[in-house]
Structure 1
Amino acid sequence: MLKEGIKVVDENRQGEALAPPSAIKSSSERKVYIESYGCQMNFADSEVVASILSQDGFGTTKELAEADLVLLNTCSIRDKAEQTIRKRLSNFNTIKKNKPEMIIGVLGCMAERLKSQLIDQEKLVDLVVGPDAYRDLPNLVNEVDNGQKAVNVILSKEETYGDIVPKRTNENGVTAFVSITRGCDNMCTFCVVPFTRGRERSRDPESVYNEAKQLFESGYREVTLLGQNVDSYLWYGGGLKKEFKNLSEEEKAKSVNFAQLLEKVAQISPLLRVRFSTSHPQDLTDDVLHVIAKYHHVCSYIHLPVQSGSSRILKLMNRGYTKEWYKERIDAINRIIPGCAISTDIIVGFCTETEDDHQETLEMMRYVKYGLGYMFKYSERPNTVAQRKFKDDVPEDTKQRRLEEIIRLHRENAAFRNSEMVGKTFEVLIEGVSKKSDQELFGRTPQNAVAVFPKENHKIGTYVNVLIEDCTTGTLLGKVVN
């Protein structure tokens, strides 16, 4: 139900005690529609938001026409993402003309960065909520109900939402995200995340373990541990992350690092697959690799963004490692976990990137032969170190040509990696029905490759052994065998 006399506080003003107008539906009659953009963290956050609103009586809907509250969980990592969201908001406002009581809100990274512009200048939204303020959503909705615009983008040094059970929106009931950290301390010069999500803090390992265990007991068969940098996870009973060397002896004694957390979750059951994302090359330890090698259900797959193959560019990016260090981590993965799949992120055309730098990135791609990659042209983001200190001086046509070369090589590498799997048998967790045929199912191997095979009598959420008979660049094709 809507609450009377709520005091709403944001960083701009003190709110007032307000009584809801009688014409507004009670929360128990209202529905929220959420769209998520960007990284997996945003999708996980949307499930936290759905849970918070459900406690206030809001139901969820996948039909926009049914929604009383429409929320976009946004990404600010590239300008293209922001323009996509603006177009979507314009579409929502067209609908709102015929449904003026509908509330439109923006969550997440773009919300924090563009709060005033979205509300006051462009007048696209009614409320703006930053990544650390989701608990305040019922209050903010109440404020909008009373005719005001509502904003809360205050960043927290403590918030992890560790006590909130997310409302799972993935209908397959098989795979789920579990956040283990929030924020980031790395300060890569191209990245807005430290400014939009705040300082890094780790979640209590017991809450992570309990959430994963509850998911398994509810029938889920895969969890993905999420963080901007999972490898720097460190719990010692505090909030903001400290370096291990700076902990007291008492804090060190009760501390839990990522390798220990990963093993703890793996011990829930051999029937629960465990994945994680995203790793950072400067923090990925052999201890983590040995945990993956020890447990067959900790998937042999690591997303290890390289961003560039040039040490000079990596230094400008403030990535904290050289190309030699990155290659050593690749060698360690291959040595400790033979057959482990590796994916990456690559930024093309970063400030001052030369043709030699570009060739070094192509050389790195040939060295690793990534099976999956996310490749983008550099997009200058406001308020980042790169925007303040460097010049975005690589011509657009040069960026485009280099991107096309990188995509072309990646396709060759991906085809090679998939061809390596032909003739082999892999354990596949069935996730759903194939998009191309209702007579086929799909699932993923431990290496995160998608496999499609005849449906027969197999059930979603079960494990099957699939003999890979053929492949495309992005998909394995096979049949179930004993």
Structure 2
Amino acid sequence: MSSLVQIRRGPAPHASSERGPQPELEPEPTADIVVATDAPRVYLETFGCQMNEADSALIAGRLREGGYVRVRDPAQADVVLVNTCAIREKAEDRVVGRTSQLLRHRADNPGLVIGITGCMAEHLKTRVAQRAPHITLVAGPDSYRSIAALCDRARAGERVIDVRLDKAEVYEGLAEEPDDDGISGFVTIQRGCDKFCTFCVVPYTRGRERGVPPREVLRAVRARAQAGYREVVLLGQTVNSYRHEDVGFAELLAAVHEVEGIERIRFTSPYPVDFSPALVDAMARLPKVCPQVHLPAQSGCTAVLERMRRGYTRDQFVALVARLRQAVPGIALSTDLMVGFCGETEDEHAQTLALMDEVRFDSAFMFAYSDRGITYASKKMSDDVPEAVKKQRLQQVIERQEQHTRASHEARVGTRQRVLVSGTSRRGDRLVGRTESFHKVLLPLHAAAPGDLLDVTITGSTGHSLWAEPAPSQRH
């Protein structure tokens, strides 16, 4: 049977560009698929970040090896798995709501297993029985090696909870089954996080930081190249803090650069403190490494950054931006910005707006702080900014970033760019691709084919996407 996974895709809340999957409560209608097999059938749905998409590919590969057949329609499944994110409270609420919607399929299949995997599974642990008793399988990020066996146990009637964290698990050598465009693929190089920012659940839900051995990273990248992929995205919670024995991130990046067939390399998300001179130099001298970085600022105020335990000041962040722009002219920068963190004053919020005006990010993901229950901030600090104030500040940040994003796009009108074509638009009337700086480009439908690298002239902007026409004789 063909590889089918239902991935929930869509723009991130309050984001000024598309980056990574985000939850939708209802899947789009799909055609009926008849599965002519007695094998157990599994439906997999993914919420959250690129790390979760990569984990879903790993889960799907393990289930396939365990004898499961993947289906697109949850009504046909014996097991429904929702791979989850716990970074923000709203994401968690949506996942619980989504599993409640999926519960209706038990009317036709009383034995249907509904399970959650990923960060939310680790976060909720045994509380899931109280909050969502219809969920009978809970598997954390370090339990995927045995996911097929866990599903078997749940199908046999057992309530299964496996959320142990494993300091050594990096899933080396395991087959994956990605559900992507076959052009740009994710490769996980690091798991867990050691930063312990006061607002963040990742160290508690994904465990301590450990790097995937370079041999495994290169095996995965070569496999993508052999399968026809043109681009790889190296993933880690703080990807540039990668280290395995004596290999750091800059050295790993140079090794990946040598893989034939891969034309573009991206990485996300780096941590500002770990942007070493060696990494900046690697970005400047390695032509396959795209001139684009997602650089989370979180706040433009040093006092707030100290309360967040981010490890850098506003001035240090601005200096890093200057180094990157000097080393990689024209580099595109996106960021994460959080408003309403514990104790944030109007003046501190104003400093974030001022940072936005100074740096002028190409795009941003913008959120209001939410108490996650298990973090240092939740236990030791007061969530004292009223919700109405958070909402007002968030709207101000969104409006400011909208101005900067539109200006970034408009500045590219008339320029020549190289685009990697990834597919067609949702309406089916345009090709869609990305520039090296990760700007979305819309092209005439018959200008190229998915997977082509095309030199184009930017002819216009919608504010969030660019229009372009191909340059003559530029198909590759």
TM-score using structure 2 length? 0.90
- Alpha-carbon distance in 2 for matches of 1:460, 1:335: 33
Q: Is this contact kept in 2: 1:302–1:342, CA < 8 A?
A: yes
- The DSSP-based 3-state class of the residue aligned with 1:473 is coil
Q: Assess if the C-alpha contact under 8 Å between 2:56 and 2:178 holds in 1.
A: no
- C-alpha separation between the residues in 2 aligned to 1:338 and 1:356? 33
Corresponding residue for 2:431?
441
Which runs of 5 or more residues in structure 2 are unaligned?
1-34
CA contact (8 A) 1:165 1:211 kept: no
Q: Deviations over 1:117-168 (max 9, x none)?
A: 2235531211100000111212212222322111111100100112112111
- The aligned counterpart of 1:54 is 64
Matched, 1:147 2:147: no
- Shifted more, 160-169 versus 421-430: the winner is 160-169
Secondary structure, in 3 states, of the residue corresponding to 1:291? helix
Q: Which residue of 2 aligns with 1:453?
A: 443
Give me the whole-angstrom Cα distance separating, in 1, the residues matched to 2:261 and 2:209. 31
Q: Specify the alignment match of 1:110 in structure 2.
A: 120
Whole-Å separation in 2 of the counterparts to 1:184 and 1:124: 31
Render the CA deviation track for 1:439-466: whole Å, top value 9, x for unaligned: 3101000101000010225110110011
Provide the rounded CA distance (Å) in 2 between the counterparts of 1:127 and 1:291: 44
Residue 187, structure 1, aligned to residue 196, structure 2: yes
SS of residue matched to 1:275: strand
Determine if contact 1:352/1:393 at 8 Å carries over to the other structure: yes
Q: Aligned partners of 1:149 and 1:112: how far apart in 2?
A: 15
How many equivalent residue pairs?
438
Query: What letter is aligned with 1:411?
Result: E
Could you tell me which amino acid in structure 1 is paired with residue 470 of structure 2?
V
Aligned to 2:463: 473
Alpha-carbon distance in structure 2 between the residues aligned to 1:270 and 1:26: 37
Q: Does structure 2 retain, via aligned residues, the 8 Å contact 1:230–1:279?
A: yes
Q: Equivalent residue for 2:244?
A: 235
Equivalent residue, structure 1, for 2:360: 369
Structure 2 counterpart of 1:289, from 280, 294, 312: 280
Amino acid at match of 1:412: Q
| Equivalent position of 2:40 in the other structure | 30
Residue 337 of structure 2 contacts residue 367 of structure 2 at CA under 8 Å; is this kept in 1?
yes
Q: Given the superposition, is the C-alpha separation of residues 271 and 192 from structure 1 closer, same or farther in structure 2, using an over 3 Å criterion?
A: closer
Residues 27 and 305 of structure 1: CA distance in aligned 2, closer, same or farther (over 3 Å)? farther
C-alpha separation between the residues in 1 aligned to 2:36 and 2:210?
Answer: 36
The separation in 2 between residues aligned to 1:422 and 1:44, in whole angstroms, is 34
Could you tell me which amino acid in structure 2 is paired with residue 38 of structure 1?
G
Q: 2:83 aligns with which of 68, 73, 86?
A: 73
Q: Residue 138 of structure 2 aligns to which amino acid in structure 1? A: V
Change (3 A) 1:390 1:27: farther
1:382 is paired with a residue of what secondary structure?
coil
* Equivalent residue for 1:463, pick from 437, 443, 453: 453
Query: What is the identity, as a one-letter code, of the residue corresponding to 1:463?
Result: L
Q: Deviations over 1:264-295 (max 9, x none)?
A: 10111374211000010111112212222212
Which residue of 376, 384, 407 corresponds with 2:398? 407
Q: Distance in 2 between matches of 1:196 and 1:441?
A: 38
> Any idea what SS the aligned residue of 2:185 has?
strand
Q: Which of 337, 345, 354 pairs up with 2:345?
A: 354
C-alpha offsets along residues 396-455 of structure 1, whole Å, 9 cap, x if unaligned? 11111111110000000001111111111111000000123x231010001010000102
Q: Which residue of 2 is the match for residue 226 of structure 1?
A: 235
Q: What is the RMSD of the two structures over their aligned residues, measured on CA atoms?
A: 1.5
Cα distance in structure 2, aligned partners of 1:99 and 1:400: 42
Spell out, residue by residue over 1:350-380, the C-alpha distance to the aligned partner (whole angstroms, 9 max, x if none): 0010111011101111111111100001001
Measured in 2, the distance between the counterparts of 1:161 and 1:219 equals 23
* 3-state SS of 1:29 partner: coil
CA contact (8 A) 1:304 1:344 kept: yes
| Higher mean C-alpha displacement, 128-137 vs 308-317 | 128-137
Query: Structure 2 residue aligned with 1:264, among 252, 255, 259?
Result: 255
Q: Partners of 1:457 and 1:365 in 2: how far apart?
A: 37
Matches within 5 A, 1:114-263: 114-119=124-129, 122-170=132-180, 172-236=181-245, 255-263=246-254
Three-state SS of the structure 1 residue aligned to 2:234 is strand
CA contact (8 A) 1:189 1:386 kept: yes
Give the AA of the match of 1:475.
S
CA deviation after TM superposition for structure 1 residue 92, in Å: 1.1
The 8 Å contact of residues 188 and 236 in structure 2, kept in 1 or not, is answered as yes
The code of the aligned residue for 2:295 comes to L
In the alignment, is the contact (CA less than 8 A) between 1:426 and 1:466 conserved in 2?
yes
- SS of alignment partner, residue 375 of structure 1: strand
Equivalent positions of 1:12-23 (< 5 A) are none
**Structure possessing the higher radius of gyration over alpha carbons:** 1
